[in-house]
Amino acid sequence: MSVEEAVLVQRCLRGDGDAVRSLVDRFQAEVFGLCLRLLNHRHDAEDVTQEVFLRIFRSLRRWDAGRPLRPWIMGIALNRCRTWMAQRARRPVSVDYLQDIAPASPADDSAELLREIQDALRELRPEYRSVFLLFHEQGQPYEDIAMAMNCPVGTIKTWLHRARLEILERLRRRGMVSEVGHGLR
């Protein structure tokens, strides 16, 4: 646990406006990034990000100061995304497939690779996708991901391994990587 985080939370609980803004500022990019990747929809991601922060401030008193703040916040974000996805599954939705794809470069296949990876991510099970994004995109350690997802570290490693294999398998099927031999197991 960081002392700085505990102080920041205490200030937020006392109603310090600067502290509230500082906490939102510090975590909004990560929360929004995760929501966007999990929901694949910019407006939904914005709405869920707002909900996540409202929930954070509603339950800030219940945060255990002995544990790091980031996994606790990301755990709330994951839960909100899961709920949102469950609600959205019951109604038709348009997906912003092209919302953040880099402009295509004629010189290489970067844009195609990027699109294939984004599509592969969308096809992953939500828990695999969450673990993969938290590890590879947000650079979080296994322990923090385990705390956020409320799972043992071993489960997180297994899910991450399976997520990598599924993405690589899709890339292989789409001709983005050559046949992978004994690595795919």
Contacts with another protein, residue ranges (CB under 8 A): 14-18, 20-21, 24-25, 28-29, 32-33, 36-37, 45-46, 49-50, 53-54, 57-58, 100-102, 110, 113-114, 116-118, 136-137, 139, 161, 164, 167-168, 171-172, 176-184
Residue 134: CB minimum distance to another protein, A: 12
What 170-176 contacts at long range (C-beta under 8 Å, 24+ apart), as own/partner pairs, is 170/116, 170/119, 170/120, 170/123, 171/113, 171/116, 171/117, 171/120, 174/116, 176/109, 176/112, 176/113, 176/116
Q: Which residue type sits at 118?
A: Q
Residue 100: CB minimum distance to another protein, A: 5
Task: Evaluate the CA torsion angle 3, 54, 96, 146 in order and state its sign.
Answer: positive
**Is 54:24 a contact under the CB 8 Å cutoff?**
no
Q: Residue 26 or 82: which CB sits closer to another protein? A: 26
Q: Residue 32 or 159: which CB sits closer to another protein? A: 32
Q: Residue 92 or 103: which CB sits closer to another protein? A: 103
Please identify which residue in the block is written with the tokens 């385990």.
Answer: 146
Residue 121: CB minimum distance to another protein, A: 9
Which structure tokens are listed for 13?
């609980």
Q: Residue 1 or 141: which CB sits closer to another protein? A: 141
Residue 128: CB minimum distance to another protein, A: 14
